[in-house]
Amino acid sequence: MRYWLEVYRINLRVAWAMLMQYRFAVLIWAVWGFVGPLVSLAVWSAAAQARGSDVAAGAQTFSRGDFAAYFLVYMIFSHLTMSWDAFEFAYRVRTGSLSPQLLRPIHPIHADASYNIGFKVITSIVLLPVWVVLFLVLHPAMPAPGIHLALSVPALVLAAVTRYVWQYALATIAFWTTRVDAINQFYFVLDSFLAGRIAPIALMPGAIAVIARFTPFWYMGAFPVELALGRLSIDRALSGMALQAVWLIIGVIVFRLIWASGVKQYSAVGA
């Protein structure tokens, strides 16, 4: 444990220095995350306004303020759980810059995870005032903070770790083919529909709404959001976290299997 803390402490320092060098570029990437949720919010606000009433599906209703709350919390949680290794990794395999990383005594995932954490810490500090302003401007209907909000914190951490591991497993496909565009896009489609990115799952047409809550995508995406907004019961929250843990363990096993066979057949490119 002490050993790993030390590894991450040093990696974080390196990541911090690297990020500081590219402050402006890092900020542009961070602001990129605003576009999707805000556009979705605009679409659903327009829909709520066109109906002249709340958008209702089954037991769940969404007013304009509810949509604002959903997509704002989604924006922040999505920032805290995001990972981009699937894009980065293929580039490294293609250019051969992965090779020196494989020679290190520690698995490259740890340096990457440190960089991911460092990125989130730096950008969150910068984005915090922007988030506050968005909350003030968009008038989200937030429930009073309570047990739901508290429970959403561990759910969010589990979502972040689970997404990281699954994305890294996906990234590892680059060992076989560096043309991962279509694969990543397919993942993005699943993520958009099943993780509640483009609309709250409750508003999805019948079958998708039912299926989504069994897939890992919902647990990496909308689950902590709906929990924070008090839309899930305490029982559902606890069973949900248990399922998150299950998906995390499955993710780790899948990742290790793919990595072990991928690294065997990887042959370096470049000098």
Shortest distance in whole angstroms from residue 6 CB to another protein: 31
- Segment near another protein (CB under 8 A), from 201-209, 211-219, 229-237, 242-250? 201-209
43 touches another protein (CB under 8 A): yes
- Segment near another protein (CB under 8 A), from 77-85, 156-164, 178-186, 234-242? 178-186
**Residues 60, 124, 192, 215: which binds another protein (CB under 8 A)?**
192
Residue number with CB closer to another protein (185 or 265): 185
Residue 201 one-letter amino acid: I
82 touches another protein (CB under 8 A): no
DSSP state at residue 140:
-
- Segment near another protein (CB under 8 A), from 1-9, 140-148, 182-190, 239-247? 182-190
d(C-alpha 140, C-alpha 71), whole Å: 9
Q: Which helix (H) or strand (E) holds 62?
A: strand 60-62
Report helix angle 147-171 to 85-95, nearest 10: 20
Shortest distance in whole angstroms from residue 184 CB to another protein: 8
214 touches another protein (CB under 8 A): no
Name 162's Cβ contacts closer than 8 Å, sequence gap at least 6. Answer: 216, 219, 220, 244, 247, 248, 251
Shortest distance in whole angstroms from residue 137 CB to another protein: 9
**Residues 5, 125, 185, 270: which binds another protein (CB under 8 A)?**
185
If we measure between CA atoms, which residue out of 220, 214, 183 comes closest to residue 83?
Answer: 220
- Segment near another protein (CB under 8 A), from 20-28, 122-130, 142-150, 260-268? 20-28
181 touches another protein (CB under 8 A): yes
d(C-alpha 61, C-alpha 201), whole Å: 12
If we measure between CA atoms, which residue out of 135, 141, 162 comes closest to residue 223?
Answer: 162
Q: By three-state DSSP, how is residue 228 classified?
A: helix
Residue found under tokens 């009433």? 53
Residue found under tokens 């990437």? 29
**Which residues bind to another protein, rule: CB under 8 A?**
21-22, 24-25, 28-29, 31-32, 35, 39-40, 42-47, 49-51, 55, 179, 181-182, 184-186, 188-189, 192-193, 198-199, 203-205
